[in-house]
Structure 1
Amino acid sequence: MFRNARIVSTGSYAPENIVPNSYFDKTLNTNVSDWLEEVVQIKERRWVSENQTTSDLCYEAAINCLKNGNISASDVDLIIIATDTPDFISPSTAAIVQDKLKATNAGTFDINSACAGFVTALDIGAKYIRADKQYNNVLVIGGYAMSRHLNKSDKKTVTLFADGAGAVLLQSVDSEDAGFLASELKSMGQYNGYMGVYAGGTAQPVDVNAIENHDHKLKFVNRFPKEINPTTWSEMALTLNERLGVQSDDVDMYFITQLNINSIWEMLDILDVPKEKAHTIMHHYGYTGSACIPMAFHDAWEKKLVKPGDLIYFIGSGGGLAFASAAFRL
């Protein structure tokens, strides 16, 4: 029999603290609501409370996912967390979540490929199951608490970025037709200096100068070429099509990084598929980075917009630049 990894449940969590666009009209002393709602279609977002961390968000999403999958934390063999807003530089956020869940039989590690992280982690988790029979239940979580790293006076970032977590449970299955089908990773490292949180690592430990320069906050340093995301996303989708022997319209749903809805629509236009094939949630949750794709997937799963047998493409991109795609048959 062919051993594969299948998505059997999903989970999601967003903080209770809702931040409407009107908040920024006041704090920035300018009307940003019209642009946010009309151009990027974000109406509100969630930010963590003073005492919440990324591990708290991931824990709640994991509990939701395990409940929906009807398995206990002790049945989890591996926890992979994708985040670039960890609780600490060390130890890993996954180890903290393992302790909070009491998932005593699970190995753990974090990955950081920015907002492409969840799809990258999904790829890794599926291959663990395919390669090694001791891994039968792998919990993959995307977590994001970027509000902790926002310069609240920077109009370019503060209105877009938000917090949340999404999770999926991968489970071993003997099937060539259901589960993980194909994937691809790409990087354009020449853009590593364009956007990021540049203080806190070995290149620039957080000190007085880093704080004064806001290097410990998220910074857009240079504008990315507008066409990079839709062009690369569509190329990756076409590569999956070729590998699987399908057409773009055969894909039942696309889950894409949700920073700019116009880039998503441009990608769908390139593929010549209707807008309805990309489920979006940024309208009420803002841009949740490595959490946005699993949060959108959970929302579609809960609303029964996806069903067993559907062909699903996950395509993510993030700072670095990093890109990841994965195809699954539900």
Structure 2
Amino acid sequence: MRYAQILSSGGYVPERLMTNAEFDRLLGESVGDWLVENVGIRERHFMAEDQTTSDLAVAAAQVALERAGLEPTDLDRIIVATDTPDYLSPATAAVVHAKLGARRAGVFDVNSACAGWVIALDIAAKTLVTEPDERFVLVIGAYGMSRFLDWGDKKTVTLFADGAGAVVVGAGSQPGWLATAMTAAGEYHDALGIYTGGVFRPASLANLERHGPPTVQFVRKFPATFNTEQWPPLIERVLAKANAATGTRLGPDDVDRYYFTQVNLRTLEATMAALGQPLEKTHWIMDKWGYTGSACIPMALDDAIAQGKGPTPGSLVLFCASGGGIALAASLWRWR
């Protein structure tokens, strides 16, 4: 039997720091206290003018590869999860391929907004289980949303930030990946996103004059409690799938570490309470790095490991994500 295991992690946070106090001055009103109380964000980082999403991805990937003891030429596939690509086409994974020098690897992007990295991780796991000639897949979540911000819109500019996280997934003889569950609420596809630049609204001169440049925007509201209502049943589903596949009786208490989309600290607190789990089982980074979308879960994993709070050998790890669309995914792993 072949199994997929997470071998290493890596993360990258760009240097440029912007605090809540700076946004207070920029916007001409106090937003910092509200952000801390309601979201948990105190500061965030943005990429430099000469950086792109692929640069962030490469920086995180290099750390993960070094920790795994691998060279870029050892990779069989590179999957980049992002909705802020370098180009509309080709894939940002191809740019990462060139910058890393990973000449053997196949490449593709996954765009499920902020749920993309968990979905990419599932694809990597299933690839290694079913493809006997492949051994190592690099899975990167990368986010360069600062390029799509309206700096006068306090609802978005104070939340989003840039960064990248990566893991190397390898084929092994012991179970790592156990199950993945996905769902969606497509009726909210037009609620939050970047709606200029694709086929729906091409970036023509007429559209740019009418709608402005491509920017991330909240078009209409979706329920504030959406994640706290949807994550627990999704977690129950992935645990049930793992139990059916392995003959176990795992429940929320058996999970040692939970890593969630880092959009809101209050949501993490409410979800853990709904699951009956202590807050110490999860980890958050939005306080210091803002909201980094498809990169936030691997960044949280890597930060927890760096702080000595990460998973230990044999522990159960659950990743749970949601993103614009709305796409949702949860994946359960046994740590090697």
State the TM-score, normalizing by the size of structure 2: 0.95
Aligned partner of 2:15 in structure 1 is 16
Partners of 2:156 and 2:212 in 1: CA distance: 13
Alpha-carbon shift at residue 301 of structure 1 (Å): 1.7
Aligned partner of 2:159 in structure 1 is 160
Aligned partner of 1:187 in structure 2 is 184
Aligned partner of 2:268 in structure 1 is 264
State the one-letter code of the partner of 1:25.
Answer: D
- Contact 1:210 1:216 (8 Å CA) reproduced: no
Alignment of 1:193-272 (within 5 A): 193-212=190-209, 213-214=211-212, 216-243=214-241, 244=243, 245-272=249-276
Alpha-carbon shift at residue 227 of structure 1 (Å): 2.0
Aligned partner of 1:7 in structure 2 is 6
Partners of 1:154 and 1:298 in 2: CA distance: 31
Say whether residues 1:58 and 2:57 are aligned partners: yes
Determine helix, strand or coil for the equivalent of 2:107.
strand
Partners of 1:192 and 1:282 in 2: CA distance: 24
Partners of 1:20 and 1:226 in 2: CA distance: 25
- Contact 1:199 1:215 (8 Å CA) reproduced: yes
Partners of 1:283 and 1:183 in 2: CA distance: 28
- Contact 2:179 2:239 (8 Å CA) reproduced: no
- Contact 1:196 1:218 (8 Å CA) reproduced: yes
Partners of 1:197 and 1:317 in 2: CA distance: 16
Q: 243-252 or 105-114, which moves further after superposition?
A: 243-252
Alpha-carbon shift at residue 277 of structure 1 (Å): 1.2
Alignment of 1:37-52 (within 5 A): 37-52=36-51
- Contact 2:261 2:320 (8 Å CA) reproduced: yes
State the one-letter code of the partner of 2:163.
Answer: G
CA change 1:5–1:290 in 2 (3 A) is same
- Contact 1:151 1:214 (8 Å CA) reproduced: no
Partners of 2:205 and 2:223 in 1: CA distance: 33
- Contact 1:197 1:215 (8 Å CA) reproduced: no
Determine helix, strand or coil for the equivalent of 1:262.
helix
Alpha-carbon shift at residue 90 of structure 1 (Å): 0.8
Spell out structure 1 runs of 4+ moving beyond 4 A. none
State the one-letter code of the partner of 2:329.
Answer: A
State the TM-score, normalizing by the size of structure 1: 0.97
- Contact 2:40 2:266 (8 Å CA) reproduced: no
State the one-letter code of the partner of 1:205.
Answer: P
Partners of 1:214 and 1:276 in 2: CA distance: 44
Question: How many residues were matched structurally?
Answer: 327
Aligned partner of 2:319 in structure 1 is 314
Partners of 2:237 and 2:319 in 1: CA distance: 13
Aligned partner of 1:86 in structure 2 is 85
String of CA shifts for 1:186-207, please: whole Å, max 9, x gaps. Answer: 1111110001100101111113
State the one-letter code of the partner of 1:70.
Answer: G
Partners of 1:189 and 1:36 in 2: CA distance: 28
Partners of 2:2 and 2:316 in 1: CA distance: 19
Partners of 1:153 and 1:170 in 2: CA distance: 40
Partners of 1:301 and 1:21 in 2: CA distance: 27
CA RMSD of aligned residues (A): 1.0
Alpha-carbon shift at residue 215 of structure 1 (Å): 5.8
Q: 159-168 or 33-42, which moves further after superposition?
A: 33-42
Which residue of 295, 303, 309 corresponds with 2:307?
303
Alpha-carbon shift at residue 38 of structure 1 (Å): 2.1
Determine helix, strand or coil for the equivalent of 2:299.
helix
List runs of 5+ in structure 2 lacking aligned partners: 244-248
- Contact 2:319 2:332 (8 Å CA) reproduced: yes
Say whether residues 1:139 and 2:138 are aligned partners: yes
- Contact 1:301 1:307 (8 Å CA) reproduced: no
Alpha-carbon shift at residue 261 of structure 1 (Å): 1.1
Q: 233-242 or 205-214, which moves further after superposition?
A: 205-214
Alpha-carbon shift at residue 22 of structure 1 (Å): 1.2
- Contact 2:190 2:219 (8 Å CA) reproduced: yes
Partners of 1:211 and 1:147 in 2: CA distance: 19
Alpha-carbon shift at residue 39 of structure 1 (Å): 2.0
Partners of 1:302 and 1:214 in 2: CA distance: 41
List runs of 5+ in structure 1 lacking aligned partners: none
